[in-house]
Amino acid sequence: MPRTKLDLFAQVLEKARNETTEENIAAQTNLLRELVSDSISILTDLNLLTEKHNSPASLLTTQRGLEFLHDYQELTEKLTAK
> Full-prediction pTM beyond 0.85?
yes
Domain that holds residue 57: 15-76
Task: List the CATH number of the domain containing 31.
Answer: 1.10.10.10
Q: Quick check: is 71 in a domain?
A: yes
Q: Quick check: is 35 in a domain?
A: yes
Q: Quick check: is 33 in a domain?
A: yes
Separation between Cα atoms, residue 19 and residue 16, nearest integer Å = 5
Q: In the predicted model, what is the mean pLDDT of residues 43-58?
A: 86
Cα 53 → chain centroid: 18
**Bridge partners for 21 per DSSP:** 58
What pLDDT shows up at residue 56? 63
Q: In the predicted model, what is the mean pLDDT of residues 3-28?
A: 93
Q: In the predicted model, what is the mean pLDDT of residues 22-50?
A: 93
Residue 35 pLDDT level (bands cut at 50, 70, 90): very high
Residues 10 and 72 sit within 8 Å (Cβ to Cβ): yes
Q: How many CB atoms lie within 10 A of CB 40?
A: 21
Separation between Cα atoms, residue 46 and residue 2, nearest integer Å = 24
Q: What is the mean pLDDT of the chain?
A: 90
